Amino acid sequence: MKALSQRRRHPLAAIALLLLGLLVTGGLYAVAGTVNEAKAQTTTYSAQDVEQGEKLFVANCATCHGINAVGAEPGAHGFQAGPSLIGVGAAAVDFQVGTGRMPMQMSGPQAQVKPKQFDEEQTRQLAAYVASLGAGPAVPSEEVLDTTKGNAAKGGELFRTNCAMCHNAAAAGGALTRGKFAPALGGVTGEHIYEAMVTGPQNMPVFNDANISPEGKRDIITFLHTIEEQGSPGGAALGSLGPVSEGLLLWTGGLAVIIGFTIWLTQRSS
């Protein structure tokens, strides 16, 4: 007992305990992250999907992203340089291609939504090929996207804490710097919202499962679909931009009434 007591008072004892605590915490964090990621995984892809996806990639994407998806040098082949896609995962491809952002129509501050160039099967094949190049976020499963199990109230809290500063509290979108913007989220599918959170497209940060759990992401999707279904019960939405647009409307409307009343009074006196 005396020897044990002396070791506890050793100068290195505190450092040893701190290292042990960090090891235990890191191990628990890794296990929790693996479990959460497994909840969001979808089915694996076949070798034929990967093969067909590679053909589509070489024909449509390699000019910007390189033959092996390792990225291209600026100005190569006269096209805009594209980043490496190794490790971005199937979710990034499904989001970018599924929303029509990729292939880009023109270079600019950020990719614009436009009609899709590939159908669902081709998009899945492209995602399969990119996923085969390195581990990354997978396309979410139907279970994690089931909004009947979501909580809109909790989702609203998470959205206001993590998303509203860019996308607006009513998910109406907002302007960012240098011509960039956070898009409005109305009409966006739950699958694409989830994929955006785990991949961080454009200027959006990545919200991995350690930041927001799969259940939390489902709650956010539930909240967004709920406010979209409710519409604007209070009247004209005015772009859902908040007190600035409402105050401007009252100011200009009130000023117009005052000017009109003044003109009416002067006409009566004459």
pLDDT tens column, 18-62? 666 767 666 655 554 444 444 445 457 899 999 999 999 999 998
Total tally of structural domains belonging to the chain: 2
Residue 125 and residue 48 share a domain: yes
The reported pLDDT for the residue numbered 53 is 95
Q: How far apart are CA 241 and CA 180, in angstroms?
A: 17
CA angle 106, 119, 147 (to 5 degrees): 100
Residue pLDDT, tens place only, 132-190 = 998 899 999 999 999 999 999 999 999 999 999 999 888 988 888 888 999 999 899 99
Residue 134 and residue 62 share a domain: yes
pTM above threshold 0.75: no
Kindly give, in sequence order, each residue whose CB lies less than 8 Å from that of residue 9, ignoring residues fewer than 6 positions away: none
Token output for 208? 């991995």
The reported pLDDT for the residue numbered 37 is 46
Residue 206 and residue 183 share a domain: yes
pLDDT at 78 over 50: no
Cα of 53 vs its chain's centroid, Å? 24
pLDDT at 239 over 80: no
> pLDDT > 90: what percent of the chain?
46
Per the domain annotation, does 199 fall within a domain?
yes
Mean pLDDT of 206-221: 94
Tell me which of 246 and 68 has the higher pLDDT. 68
Domain ranges, residue 157: 140-239
Mean pLDDT over all residues of the chain? 82
The reported pLDDT for the residue numbered 26 is 64
Mean pLDDT of 89-99: 95
The reported pLDDT for the residue numbered 240 is 56
The reported pLDDT for the residue numbered 44 is 79
pLDDT band at 101 (very low <50, low <70, confident <90, very high): very high
Residue 91 and residue 179 share a domain: no
Per the domain annotation, does 258 fall within a domain?
no
Q: Which amino acid is residue 165, in one-letter code?
A: M
Per the domain annotation, does 2 fall within a domain?
no
Token output for 235? 């009247």
Residue 51 and residue 133 share a domain: yes
Of the residues 78, 108, 138, the one at which a domain ends: 138
Residue 134 and residue 87 share a domain: yes
The reported pLDDT for the residue numbered 76 is 47
Tell me which of 180 and 243 has the higher pLDDT. 180
pLDDT at 100 over 70: yes
Of the residues 108, 138, 168, the one at which a domain ends: 138
Per the domain annotation, does 38 fall within a domain?
no
pLDDT at 201 over 80: yes
First vs last C-alpha separation in the chain:
109
pLDDT at 63 over 60: yes
The reported pLDDT for the residue numbered 6 is 53
Residue 130 and residue 76 share a domain: yes
Of the residues 138, 155, 175, the one at which a domain ends: 138
Residue 133 and residue 65 share a domain: yes
Per the domain annotation, does 267 fall within a domain?
no
Residue 76 and residue 131 share a domain: yes
pLDDT band at 255 (very low <50, low <70, confident <90, very high): confident
Q: How far apart are CA 86 and CA 131, in angstroms?
A: 8
pLDDT at 81 over 90: no
- For 83, phi then psi, to 5°, come to -75, 165
Residue 144 and residue 235 share a domain: yes
